[in-house]
Amino acid sequence: MSNDTDRELRLAMIGAPNTGKTTFFNGLTGGRAKTANYPGVTVERRTGHFHTLGGTAVELIDLPGIYGLAGRTLDERVAVDAITGRIEGETPPDLLLIFLDATHLRTHLHSVLELKALGRPAVLILNMMDLAERDGTKIDIAALERAIGIPVIPSNAARKSGREALVNRLDTLLESLPKTTTTDPLSIDGTTIKALQKEARSIANQVILHETGMNTLTRRLDGIFLHPLLGPVILAAILFLMFQAVYSWANIPMDLIDSGFSQLYGLAKQIKPDMLASFLADGVIAGLGSVLIFLPQIIILFGFILLLEASGYMSRAAFLMDELMRRAGLNGRAFIPLLSSFACAVPGIMAARTIESERDRLTTIMVAPLMTCSARLPVYTLIIAAFIPREKIGMFNQQGLVMFALYLAGIFSALIVAYILRKTVTKGETQPLLMELPSYKLPQVWDFALGLWQRIWIFLRRAGTIIFSVAIGLWFLASFPKGDNGIRDSFAGMIGSVLEPIFRPIGFNLETVIALVPGMAAREVVVAAMGTVYALQGNDEQIAGSLSQILQSAWTLPSALSFLAWYVFAPQCFSTIAMVRRETNSLNWTLFMVGYLFALAYIAAFITYHVALAFTG
Which residues fall within 8 angstroms of residue 549, CB to CB, at 6 or more apart?
A: 386, 542
For residue 47, give the nearest of 600, 57, 55 by alpha carbon.
57
b/e 96-130 (16+ beta carbons within 10 angstroms → b): bbbbbbbbbbbebbbbbbbbbbbebbbbbbbbbbb
CA 189 to CA 168: how far, in whole Å?
37
Domain range summary for the chain, segments of one domain joined by + = 9-215, 233-428+444-616
Other Cβ atoms less than 10 A from the Cβ of 379: the count is: 26
Residues 487 and 514: beta-carbon distance below 8 Å: yes
Q: Is the predicted pLDDT of residue 172 greater than 50, yes or no?
A: yes
Residue 97, SS3?
strand
Q: Which one is predicted more confidently, 2 or 573?
A: 573
Q: From start to end of 112-197, where are the E strands?
A: 122-127, 138-139, 152-154
39: cis peptide before it, omega within 30°?
A: no
Q: Which CATH class is domain 9-215?
A: alpha beta
**Res 135 pLDDT > 80:** no
Q: How confident is the model at residue 1 (pLDDT cuts 50, 70, 90)?
A: very low
Question: DSSP class of residue 443?
Answer: P
Rounded to an integer, what distance in angstroms lies between the CA atom of residue 440 and that of residue 614?
51
Residue 178: pLDDT over 70: yes
* Alpha-carbon torsion angle 307, 522, 383, 608, nearest 10: -110
Instruction: Determine contact, residues 477/492, Cβ cutoff 8 Å.
Output: yes
Residue pair 61/10 in contact (Cβ under 8 Å)? The answer is yes
- The proportion of the chain whose per-residue pLDDT surpasses 90, expressed as a percent, equals 21
pLDDT of the residue at 544: 40
Sorting pLDDT into bands at 50, 70 and 90, what band is 540? very low
Query: Which amino acid would we find at residue 479?
Result: S
Angle at 99 between CA 95 and CA 105, to 5 degrees: 135
Per-residue pLDDT band for 539 (boundaries 50, 70, 90) equals: very low
Name the pairing type of β-strands 122-127 and 152-154: parallel
Angle between helices 251-268 and 295-311 (to 10 degrees): 150
Q: What is the pLDDT of residue 504?
A: 94
**Neighbour tally for 27: CB within 10 Å:** 21
For the ranges 272-281, 303-312, 320-329, 603-612, the maximum mean pLDDT occurs at 603-612
User: What pairs with residue 12 in β-bridges?
Assistant: 61, 96
> What are the tens digits of pLDDT across the range 73-129?
777 888 888 888 888 778 889 999 999 988 888 878 888 998 888 888 999 999 988
How far is the first Cα of the chain from the last one, in angstroms, to the nearest whole number?
A: 81
pLDDT-based confidence at residue 545 (cuts at 50, 70, 90):
very low
Nearest to 304 by CA among 388, 237, 349: 237
Chain Cα centroid distance, residue 525: 20
Residue 536: pLDDT band (50, 70, 90) is confident
